Amino acid sequence: MNITGIETFHAWDGSRNNIFLEVSTDEGVTGVGEAYSIGPDRAVIAMIEEMKPWFVGQDPSRIEWLLRRAKNTMRFPLGQVAWSALSGIDLALWDIAGKKAGLPVYKLLGGATRDKVRVYHGIYGDSPQQVGEHAKSLMEEGYTAFKTSPLSSNWREIPWQQVLREAGQRMAGIREIIGSSPDLAVDVHVAIRETSKSLELAQVITPYNLMFIEEPARAEFIDSTAQLRKQFRVALATGENLYGIHRFTELLNADAVDIIQPDLLCCGGLLEAKKIAAVAEAHYVTVAPHNPLGLLSTAAGVHLAASINNFSILEWHGDHLKKKSEFINEEWVPVNGYFELPTKPGIGMSLNHEVISVNPPQHWDRGFATYEDGSPGFL
């Protein structure tokens, strides 16, 4: 079997663009992948197009060799664009391998280490009451773990002491509604510039029985993250902004994290994530994959979770209810807060080309966060 082509598909889901790809072969087996849409994301598509000749004509089963050759020919350390492009291709190659073998991908990665995969659901709202009520409605569907922001939407524009006071009120209000039993995590989104402020925030919200605090420092500030972890009294999670085994090894060697969060669409794909998880296992660190983009990404996360010993929990945002779910032919929904293991060969997802074709991409970026004094903020 040889690769005959790689085709990309770019679609707007109402809030951001999605980048899908298909790798075709001369035996009629097609693999489906997705690359992270980093916003701006056309650069990722251009990178896939540049890489295409490196893969066409090659044996798709040589996944390690193909990806290593691509990384080596680029010579310089890869950035987010290249890692995202390679991640999408990696997923498609594993999809081909699974279809060729007639097995779900996780069975090619060592087999099932668990019978089902637990998820936490994102919860939203402008007020603590709205966030809590959202969680309460999800608890009725069987979910037992949630994640939200501890910060109000205007936190960059108000005095820091007010931010802290409102964060405490926000968490107290949510806990009052959902009770003490559900797991509750918070995400700071690498947006706080000073680690001293992240520590102050952690001290305010730690009493509310948190599962973890996510990204309290910029991902590239590994030393700062390590210092925070020493002072935290709750698990520190990070890693969605890191790519490749080497950066994650730096993070782990610095003893800077309790839970790593590689994203399958930009960390290097399933092969790289499996290696990253192994290094984390050696450091007694668990894995909670970052997963904000949709059903294909979720399927990849479930395959990884099913095949590693140190999986913790998978991010989930109810994507089966969103427009982006229309880009995928298959329906997949957690049952009582867990995904059942896939049974179809490969990753188990296919693209709905008709829907994709009528939702062309639009210009999209993340916008520009600004502090009260007009200086650019992290987003």
Per residue in 60-91, is it b (16+ CB within 10 Å) or e — as a string? Answer: beebeebbeebbeeeeeebeebbbbbbbbbbb
Please say if 353 is a catalytic residue: no
Alpha-helical regions (H) of 239-323: 244-253, 270-282, 295-307
Longest dimension (CA), the chain: 63
Please say if 320 is a catalytic residue: no
State which amino acid sits at residue 333.
V
State which amino acid sits at residue 184.
L
CA pair distance 341, 326, nearest whole angstrom: 22
Q: Secondary structure of the chain: what % helix, strand, coil (to 5)?
A: 40, 20, 40
CA pair distance 47, 41, nearest whole angstrom: 10
Asked if residues 317 and 119 have their Cβ atoms less than 8 Å apart, the reply is: no
- Integer-rounded Cα radius of gyration of the chain: 20
- Say what the alpha-carbon torsion angle 245, 247, 250, 254 is, to the nearest 10 degrees: -120
CA pair distance 334, 131, nearest whole angstrom: 20
Out of 189, 283, 320, 353, the active site residue is 189
Give the Cα-Cα-Cα angle 202, 124, 183 (nearest 5 degrees): 55
Out of 121, 290, 303, 317, the active site residue is 290
Asked if residues 24 and 89 have their Cβ atoms less than 8 Å apart, the reply is: no
Catalytically annotated residues: 189, 290
